[in-house]
């Protein structure tokens, strides 16, 4: 593999991969090969190879499949610090009419060619960062004795309202819905295992075309028994700090390829995150000229304005209960607001985490279900958690693609998932 070549300087090796691009310099041909682990400059000199090898090297087209043999040489100017002095080139498959050329392509064209666009260095870098974040998430919870629990994707009812559900026929007489969140199923598991988390695909049928929305996305959700709101904020901050530090440490080359200004990420791993109440947020926004009043939900523009001047995420807490989900615990000091948090990323990336302390009183939860006109029979099992040994507990959800977009400095979530599902787009 190309990534292993720095340990083989002076050795003759054979590699298989794809021709990413090339440049010519008279009787010397520079091939850049990729194999998924890295990029390698392979130098072919006409004077040093048989004519058949020269013809293969100069006849190869972009994205042709090649097998290249040569001597590994140290070269600090080249990607990975090495280059290959080529002795042989074999074309395993000659690529014809590669559709993604160096010219400027529109977004619609590139999204329709997503299965091929994935090969570009920018998309590879984003997906490498995504993979690193996924591994870091599992390591974070594993080292803290959390148990992973896989919540169901097919559910009988909504977690947070019915307006954005994907409906499917489950049996002849029964409908089911694609999960919006694994949270409700984590809460009973927290009573069994104490500290749990799920990580998987979630679905929202919102008719939204903003850069912050996908119809299918991945979400990680921890749930912790006996954890209350202040501890939840500490957990969310620790989580984001550790993930950011991991990306900065292990994905330097990918961030460099993305031209990400890592100086904007450095403070995240070391500085405390500001915490403000929703009421304070409204006052800040009013001073900035936003026509927002207490009880209004905060949109993307408001979230961006709140993080201006901060180089770390900002946590906004205690939103009005009226605009939050039915299961959120009211503040004992002020029941009109919920013990909840939204973590807003800087640089305009908006909400990356949303969480709350959950209602653990049976009768209060029952009344909230009724107030929201939710089907009681579908939530009886959820009420049972409060009926048999109730306990305070808290959790949050983080959208993977939103976090990856922020780490990479990518403006739209569509580049942060291999095959995005958006309004009016399900191909490829």
Parallel/antiparallel/unpaired status of strands 12-25 and 350-357: unpaired
CA–CA distance, 79 with 253 (Å, rounded to integer): 9
Task: List CB contacts of 77: < 8 A, sequence separation 6 or more.
Answer: none
State the architecture of 2-93 in CATH terms.
Answer: Beta Barrel (2.40)
Q: Where are the domains of the chain?
A: 2-93, 114-415
Task: Report the C-alpha gap between 48 and 155 in whole angstroms.
Answer: 65
Q: In 3-state terms, what secondary structure has residue 277?
A: strand
Q: pLDDT 10s per residue in the chain (428 long)? A: 999 999 999 999 999 999 999 998 889 999 999 999 999 999 999 999 999 999 999 999 999 999 999 999 999 888 889 999 999 999 999 999 999 987 788 999 999 999 999 999 999 999 999 999 999 999 999 999 999 999 999 998 765 555 689 999 999 999 899 999 999 999 999 999 999 999 999 999 988 778 888 999 999 999 999 999 999 999 999 999 999 999 999 999 999 999 999 999 999 999 999 999 999 999 999 999 999 999 999 999 999 999 998 999 999 999 999 999 999 999 999 999 999 999 999 999 999 999 999 999 999 999 999 999 888 988 999 999 999 999 999 999 999 999 999 999 999 999 999 999 998 899 99
Q: What is the DSSP string of 73-122?
A: EE-TTSGGGEEEEEEEEEEEE-----S--SS---HHHHHHTHHHHTTSHH
Q: Are the C-beta atoms of residues 227 and 315 closer than 8 Å to each other?
A: no
pTM of the model: 0.95
How far is residue 363's CA from residue 340's CA, in Å, rounded to a whole number?
20
Name the packing angle between helices 278-287 and 300-307 (round to 10°). Answer: 90
Closest by Cα among 267, 282, 343, 344 to 308: 344
Half-sphere exposure of 340 (CA within 13 A, CB side): 25
Closest CA to 307 of 217, 375, 406: 406
CATH of domain 114-415: 3.30.930.10
CA distances from 344 to 212, 299, 317 (A): 13, 11, 11
């Amino acid at each position: 593999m190309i990534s292993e070549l720095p340990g083989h300087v002076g050795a003759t090796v054979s590699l298989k991969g794809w021709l990413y691009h090339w440049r010519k310099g008279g009787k010397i041909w520079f091939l850049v090969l990729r194999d998924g682990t890295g990029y390698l400059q392979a130098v072919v000199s006409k004077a040093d190879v048989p004519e058949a090898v020269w013809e293969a090297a100069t006849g190869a087209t972009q994205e042709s499949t090649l097998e290249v043999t040569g001597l590994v040489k140290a070269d600090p100017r080249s990607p990975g610090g090495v280059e290959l002095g080529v002795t042989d080139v074999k074309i395993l498959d000659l690529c014809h009419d590669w559709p993604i050329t160096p010219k400027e392509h529109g977004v619609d064209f590139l999204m329709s060619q997503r299965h091929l666009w994935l090969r570009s260095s920018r998309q590879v870098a984003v997906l490498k960062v995504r993979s690193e974040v996924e591994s870091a998430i599992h390591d974070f919870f594993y080292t803290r004795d959390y148990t992973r629990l896989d919540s169901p994707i097919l559910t009988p009812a909504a977690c947070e309202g019915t307006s954005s559900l994907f409906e499917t026929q489950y049996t002849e007489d029964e409908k089911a819905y694609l999960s919006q969140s694994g949270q409700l199923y984590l809460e009973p598991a927290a009573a069994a295992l104490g500290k749990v988390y799920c990580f998987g695909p979630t679905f929202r049928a919102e008719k939204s075309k903003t850069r912050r929305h996908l119809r299918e996305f991945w979400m990680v959700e921890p749930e912790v028994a006996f954890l209350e709101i202040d501890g939840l904020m500490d957990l969310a901050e620790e989580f984001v700090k550790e993930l950011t530090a991991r990306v900065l440490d292990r994905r330097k080359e990918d961030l460099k390829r993305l031209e990400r200004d890592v100086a904007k990420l450095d403070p995240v791993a070391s500085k405390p995150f500001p915490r403000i109440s929703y009421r304070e947020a409204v006052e800040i926004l009013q001073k900035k000229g936003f026509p927002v009043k207490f009880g209004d939900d905060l949109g993307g523009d408001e979230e961006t304005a709140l993080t201006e001047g901060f180089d770390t995420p900002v946590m906004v807490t205690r939103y009005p209960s009226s605009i939050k989900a039915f299961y959120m615990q009211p503040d004992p000091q002020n029941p009109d607001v919920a013990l909840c948090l939204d973590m807003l990323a800087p640089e305009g990336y908006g909400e990356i985490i949303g969480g709350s302390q959950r209602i653990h009183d049976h009768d209060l939860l029952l009344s909230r279900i009724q107030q929201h006109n939710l089907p009681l029979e579908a939530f009886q099992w959820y009420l049972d958690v409060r009926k048999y040994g109730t306990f305070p507990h808290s959790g949050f959800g983080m959208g993977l693609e939103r976090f990856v977009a922020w780490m990479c400095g990518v403006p739209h979530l569509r580049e942060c998932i291999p095959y995005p599902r958006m309004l009016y787009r399900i191909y490829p």
